[in-house]
């Protein structure tokens, strides 16, 4: 990895210490996260819960290196991330983190296969190995027959399964999902959560799911409750 700090011995995968995030709008500071301190160990399956507007997504974006804390420290795999350049963060996102979003966010003009391959494009892995892995992942999520389909030809549940396969293409340690079942009916939601549980259980990936739905949160072994920008219970 790029960092100088050797991975801390016995340190958890994720360590947030006193993290704040505030937005300044029109001269007025709006503090969304105020002093979040949180450890998540490798291999955990955690749900971040809380009412709408409580800062769940903001927290997930920080965990996913899409956003930087206003203050406080975020150590990922024992490495302080605050000092990393934007390009280094891009590289770390590419290699260590897989994302799943509420609205799937597939590239509309690319096939399911190409969508799964997308994070692989920005990695150093050879194309042939990536393509092989993409086909394996599509098989795992049950979409072998749909590999050449465009997103518009797929149902919501199928699109989210493509997104799940995409999140795994570079074999990251951490999967972050923001309301992954928010646009799905309850049956399909269950399928997606089963898949996420399997990814956690079978592949040993750390999975963090943001949700306000208790049924979805029930799949996780740990519930983290966020209210008013703080971790109320974890």
Partner 1 sequence: MWRVLSRYPRLLWRLQGVAGQALLAHKARSFFVVAAVAMGIAALTVIVASVDGARRKALEIVDFFGPDAVLVLGGDIENRPVGQRTNTLTWSDARAIARSLPGAYAVLPMRSVRAVTLRYGNKNHEAPTVVGATENYAATWNWPLSEGRDLSADDIAHGAKVALIGDAPAKALFGDASPIGRTVMVKNLPVQIVGRLSYRGFTGGGSDVSVDDRLIMPISTLTQRFNLDRNYFRGLRVRFHDPDLIGVHMENLRALLRHEHKLGPTIPDDFTIMSASEILKFLTAFTGGLVAFLGVTAGVAILVGGFVLANLMFLGVSERRVEIGLRKAVGATSGAILIQFLSEAVYLTLAGAILGVGLGVGLGESLSRLGMLELRLSPKIFVLSLAAALAIALAFGLRPARKAAGLDPIEALRGGGE
By CB under 6 A, name the binding residues for ligand ADP: 23, 25, 30, 32, 50, 52-58
**In 101-221, beta strands by DSSP E:** 174-178, 206-210
55 binds, among ligand ADP, partner 1, Mg ion, none (CB under 5 to 8 A by kind): ligand ADP
In this complex, which beta carbon is closest to Mg ion, that of residue 120 or of residue 180?
Answer: 180
90 binds, among partner 1, Mg ion, ligand ADP, none (CB under 5 to 8 A by kind): partner 1
Shortest-Cβ-distance residue relative to ligand ADP: 57
52 binds, among partner 1, ligand ADP, Mg ion, none (CB under 5 to 8 A by kind): ligand ADP
Alpha helices in 76-126 (DSSP H): 86-96, 112-121
DSSP 8-state symbol, 55: S
In this complex, which beta carbon is closest to Mg ion, that of residue 59 or of residue 207?
Answer: 59
CB of 121 to partner 1, least distance (A): 5
Phi then psi for residue 206, to 5 deg, are -80, 125
Q: Residue 219: name the closest of 207, 203, 230 by CA.
A: 207
CB of 180 to ligand ADP, least distance (A): 13
In this complex, which beta carbon is closest to Mg ion, that of residue 57 or of residue 81?
Answer: 57
Angle at 50 between CA 49 and CA 51, to 5 degrees: 145
Phi then psi for residue 175, to 5 deg, are -115, 125
Footprint of partner 1 on 107-136 (CB under 8 A): 107-110, 114, 118-119, 121-124, 127
CA distance 19 to 25: 20
Angle at 220 between CA 214 and CA 14, to 5 degrees: 120
Phi then psi for residue 63, to 5 deg, are -60, -35
Footprint of Mg ion on 45-64 (CB under 5 A): 57
Phi then psi for residue 127, to 5 deg, are -60, -45
Residue 61 binds to partner 1 (criterion: CB under 8 A): yes
Footprint of partner 1 (CB under 8 A): 61, 64, 66-67, 86-87, 90-91, 93-95, 99, 101-103, 105, 107-110, 114, 118-119, 121-124, 127, 166, 170
């Amino acid at each position: 990895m790029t960092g100088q700090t050797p991975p801390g011995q016995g340190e958890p995968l994720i360590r947030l210490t006193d993290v704040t995030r505030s937005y300044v709008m029109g001269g007025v500071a709006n503090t969304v996260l105020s002093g979040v301190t949180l450890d998540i160990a490798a291999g955990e399956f955690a749900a971040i819960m809380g009412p709408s507007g409580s800062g769940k997504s903001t927290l997930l974006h920080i965990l996913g290196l899409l956003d930087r804390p206003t203050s406080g420290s975020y150590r990922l795999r024992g490495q302080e991330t605050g000092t990393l350049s934007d390009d280094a963060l891009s590289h770390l996102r590419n290699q260590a983190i897989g994302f799943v979003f509420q609205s799937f966010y597939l590239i509309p003009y690319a096939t399911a296969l190409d969508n799964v391959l997308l994070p692989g494009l920005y990695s150093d892995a050879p194309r042939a190995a990536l393509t092989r892995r993409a086909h394996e992942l599509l098989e795992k999520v049950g979409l072998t027959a749909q590999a050449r389909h465009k997103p518009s030809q797929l149902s919501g549940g199928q699109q989210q399964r493509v997104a799940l396969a995409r999140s795994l293409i570079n074999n990251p340690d951490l999967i972050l999902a923001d309301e992954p079942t928010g646009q799905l009916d309850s049956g399909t939601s269950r399928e997606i959560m089963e898949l996420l549980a399997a990814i956690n259980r079978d592949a040993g990936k750390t999975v963090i799911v943001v949700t306000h739905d208790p049924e979805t949160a029930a799949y996780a072994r740990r519930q983290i409750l966020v209210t008013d920008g703080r971790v109320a219970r974890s």
